[in-house]
Amino acid sequence: MIDIISFLGLLSTIMIFNNVGQANKFNIYLGFFFLSMSSFIIGTKLISLTTNYYIISIMLPLLAGIVMSTGPMLYFYTTSILKSNNKNFFYYIHYLPIILILVDLIPFYLKSREYQENFYEMVQLSILHVYKIDTLFLPIQYFLLFRFLSGIFYALWCLITTIRSKKYFINNKKKSFSNNYYWLIYLSGFILLIFSEKNICKLKTNL
């Protein structure tokens, strides 16, 4: 079931990117959002199936960066529709988790090719072995935990901001009011529900 949902997410990403135009450039963020939601399952499946060293070496950091972009892409998509995405210093701060996880993986890529190949073989036996990857300052699982916690924060912010912007939609987007407004409400609410459920499950597991 999860594989089907991930596949539909990837298919949605392809369709969105294929239909991005000048009038809907903000859909680029939506495409990356769907990609980040489906990339973990699909990426780990691909890593477990291939034995090509170069494919896995490129895919692993790429997958890590995309997975960490869920919250920021939802934020950028929402602010683009609301016309409030001023590109100041704080705007670029949202890219920080993506940059940090890539920097955190540097020690692993400084290891020998033989070491990396052995690690990939262990990952293919069990995807959970990826948690043992060499990092610079934080274990990889802390980034995944941060992804869920920040995802809740981003979803709440987008939900509240969208509700507060109802007057903007009515005044400036009369024809597309229901499309944009209720779509953002649904999208933010869905992410809030999904990420909250995952965090509750993690807490129950640790208790």
pLDDT digits 0-9 by tens, 80-109: 888 766 677 788 899 999 999 999 999 988
The predicted structure's pLDDT at residue 154 = 92
Tokens 């990609």 correspond to 35
Per cent of the chain over pLDDT 70 is: 85
Q: What one-character DSSP code corresponds to residue 137?
A: S
Q: Given a cut of 60, is residue 200 above it in pLDDT?
A: no
pTM (predicted TM-score): 0.82
What number of other Cβ atoms are within 10 A of residue 28's Cβ? 16
Q: Which amino acid is at 49?
A: L
Which CA distances in Å does 203 have to 129, 194, 200? Answer: 21, 15, 5
Which CA distances in Å does 155 have to 1, 21, 120, 175, 195? Answer: 24, 26, 34, 25, 9
Residue 181 or 171, more confident: 181
Average pLDDT taken over every residue of the chain: 80
39 close to 67: Cβ distance less than 8 angstroms: yes
The predicted structure's pLDDT at residue 175 = 55
CA distance 16 to 104: 31
Q: Given a cut of 60, is residue 207 above it in pLDDT?
A: no
For residues 42, 45, 47, 52, the Cα torsion angle rounded to the nearest 10 degrees is -110
